[in-house]
Chain A
Amino acid sequence: MSGEVQREPLIEVENLYVYFYTYAGVVKAIEDVSFTIYKGETFCLVGETGCGKTVVSRTLTNIVPPPGRIVKGKVIYHRDGEEVNIIKLSEEELRNIRGREIAYIIQDPSAALDPLYVVGYQIAETMVDHGTVKDFKEGFGRAVRLLKEVLIPDPERRVKAYPHELSGGMRQRVVISMGLSNEPKLLIADEPTSYLDVTVQAQVLDLLRELKRKKGLTVLLITHDMGVVAEMCERVAVLYAGNIVEVAPVDELFKRPKHPYTVGLLRAVPNPLTEIEKLESIPGTVPNLIKPPSGCRFHPRCPHATEKCRREKPPLIRVGPSHYVRCWLYAGRGEEVAKSE
């Protein structure tokens, strides 16, 4: 699972900048974000609410909602041996990728479904519009099988149910089945469990893991929950205020967190790998990204902040195999690199 095997990249994000042009000012939501997702892995983006995880995921098919705009950067998608830059594609080409090759599962399953249509129709249209089934009749048939696959009981009946007739967990399963319907190359699951009850959360995560194993999917999982990270992921990128502060394989991150923010984050939740008696909170609040802190964006909350942190943006440093951190504390303790894996 570590970096020794030659791995094939699926998506490479390079030096991405996303700004939101609001009335209040320009929100610099994402600045200089780079990472790579390899085929077959589960990659995790983790961070607090509002750190930009969702925005990053939306850039992968260039569907950042207005007033957001991708200002700079590249998203290289390895499409059947060909490299395409998502940012440069036309709207129609993107439409063919969205839902077909790169599919999403979004946070709130109740809001994701159109209340006026039965769920079967909504699953079927996802396939009809991508031409993976020839008509709605075949689409409904496939929808029944998909619902069975996501373990919805009595799928023949449920396919004709309206979203409000289903429970939250079932709606999330419907959304998952939509994501899977066209057998995508990459499944982006954005906080797939945060709107669900705890018991249902575990079921949905089990389901995702099972589906991934069966279909050999590549998954980008977005979460704020370190427990979910430990359970699901192979590699993790920690996002803070629009910057990636640390990227590492999951074991490495939990055992040897480097960035002060990651350390704080792990202290704030029960760590499944180490026994910590007391949970701590990270002092301070998430910064305003209209006027982000100078230098390192974490410095106002960092216990180790120095004058340098306030002034200059820290470089990305490779501190171990596949372990990268963006922090002045590790300057000279590893090789400075332009982008992480």
Chain B
Amino acid sequence: MADLKRFLVRRAITFIPTIIGVTLITFVIAFVIPANPARAWAGGIKADPHVVAAIVKEYHLNDPWYVQYYFFMKGILTNSIVDPLFNYKVMSYMLARFPITFQLTLFALFFLVALGIPLGIISALKKDTIIDAFVRVWALTGVSVPIFWLGYIFIYVFFYMLGWITVAGVPYPKVHITGVPIIDALLSGDWITFAENVKRFILPGFTLGFAGIGIIARLVRNSFLEAINSDYIYFAKMRGLRNRRVFMHALRNALVPVVTVVGLQFGGLLGGAPITETVFGIPGMGRAMVQAIFNMDFPVLIAGTLLAALIFVITNLVVDILYAVIDPRVRF
């Protein structure tokens, strides 16, 4: 455990430059490149100069860049900065969106794991057959599909043509435990809200996970093949172990690298899935950031990238810890 603590501290120290770097890049893009954010916030070219001056003062826009950077970061982290366009507290606004993105990611992850892993195993067991070829083509198609196109196909077929699903809005259960609607519904036994959430998120989740399903399936296939061709599996057969036990040995070994990739995918998706959220009109972090970019609403953008970068480093850390848990050879 002492090892774990030391590992965590060491990793946390390397995070700091990453987080600072990421927010700094965003900051530079947001404030240094565009001509005049204050005027844009005050209403564009015809803005009242007094209002512009007030905004400049309030957001320290005439101060040196490092002062501005400090002001924005502190304001976001302490949730004291107010959005210049919409008058809400920036961090509260983003944090309210996070559970929705989280829920979308959970659905995508479900498809990733529930379809990707079995497909990969079948593909490995039926190596060089038509099934294997199918999984291979699916994997390649998955990474080639424009995600917005796939989303619209689903909307067109299941919403316009068949009317099976609902696409707008996120129903919340009455109880607030974690903030993630579907988890809260599940915990409080609110099955109607649960079903409504499933109906609304199943297609976006599948769309978002589609590319990953193929990637995971291919990865599982290759690592499973590597496992079943290894000496310890052969030796397990030579020891006359039951088929099911031999299979479990192979599976557990095959899943070690998969955990890493699934974890990283999860982290990537959590950072916001702008296209899926835009297509399905899901009010998550990705869509909020896209809108912020168009509105020149930079405080929201910085808060969003800060959150995304934090999520990225944290999931990386969790993946590393998980890796050490499932593979005894890895030590912190």
Contact = CB atoms under 8 A, between A and B. Distances in A.
B113 interface: no
Contacts of A178: 239
B231 A108 contact: yes
Nearest to B329: A164
A236 interface: no
A111 B240 contact: no
B258 interface: no
B174 interface: no
Interface stretch (A45-53, A125-133, A304-312): A125-133
A205 to B, nearest CB: 21
B238 A61 contact: yes
A198 B239 CA distance: 27
Nearest to A113: B232
A106 B238 contact: yes
Contact of B256 (A116, A126, A130): A116
Interface string A143-165: 00000000000000000001010
Contacts of B236: 114
B88 interface: no
Main secondary structure of the interface of B (DSSP, over half): helix
A114 B240 contact: no
A130 B230 CA distance: 23
Interface stretch (B42-50, B52-60, B77-85, B241-249): B241-249
Interface stretch (A80-88, A96-104, A268-276): A96-104
A104 B256 contact: no
A115 interface: yes
B328 A162 contact: yes
Interface in A196-230: none
User: Which are the 6 A-B pairs with shortest beta-carbon distances?
Assistant: A99-B240, A98-B240, A111-B231, A99-B239, A112-B235, A162-B328
A63 interface: yes
Given A58-B238, A95-B241, 17 more contacts: A63-B237, A99-B239, A100-B240, A103-B239, A104-B239, A111-B235, A112-B235, A114-B253, A116-B326, A116-B327, A125-B245, A126-B239, A129-B240, A129-B241, A164-B329, A175-B235, A178-B239
B126 interface: no
B74 interface: no
Contacts of B327: 115-116
A63 B256 CA distance: 28
B231 A63 contact: no
B240 A112 contact: no
A3 interface: no
Contacts of A113: 232, 235
Nearest to B256: A116
Contact of B240 (A106, A115, A130): A130
B240 A97 contact: yes
6 contacts: A98-B238, A98-B240, A112-B231, A116-B253, A129-B239, A129-B245
A129 B241 CA distance: 6
B328 A106 contact: no
A106 B328 CA distance: 23
Nearest to A100: B240
B240 A96 contact: yes
Interface of A: 58, 61, 63, 65, 94-100, 103-104, 106, 108, 111-117, 125-126, 129-130, 162, 164, 175, 178
Nearest to B326: A116
B134 interface: no
A167 to B, nearest CB: 15
B234 interface: yes
B241 A125 contact: yes
A129 B240 CA distance: 8
B231 A106 contact: yes
B237 A98 contact: yes
B158 to A, nearest CB: 42
B11 interface: no
A268 to B, nearest CB: 29
Contacts of B238: 58, 61, 63, 98-99, 104, 106
B176 interface: no
Interface string B35-74: 0000000000000000000000000000000000000000
A95 B242 contact: yes
B124 to A, nearest CB: 14
A209 B192 CA distance: 72
A324 to B, nearest CB: 29
Nearest to B250: A114
B329 A115 contact: yes
Contacts of B249: 114, 116-117
Most A-side CB within 10 Å, residue of B232, B235, B238, B327? B238
A94 B230 CA distance: 21
B234 to A, nearest CB: 7
A261 B267 CA distance: 63
Interface string B159-200: 000000000000000000000000000000000000000000
> Counting chain B CB atoms within 10 Å of each CB, which of A97, A108, A114, A178 scores highest?
A114
A106 B237 CA distance: 12
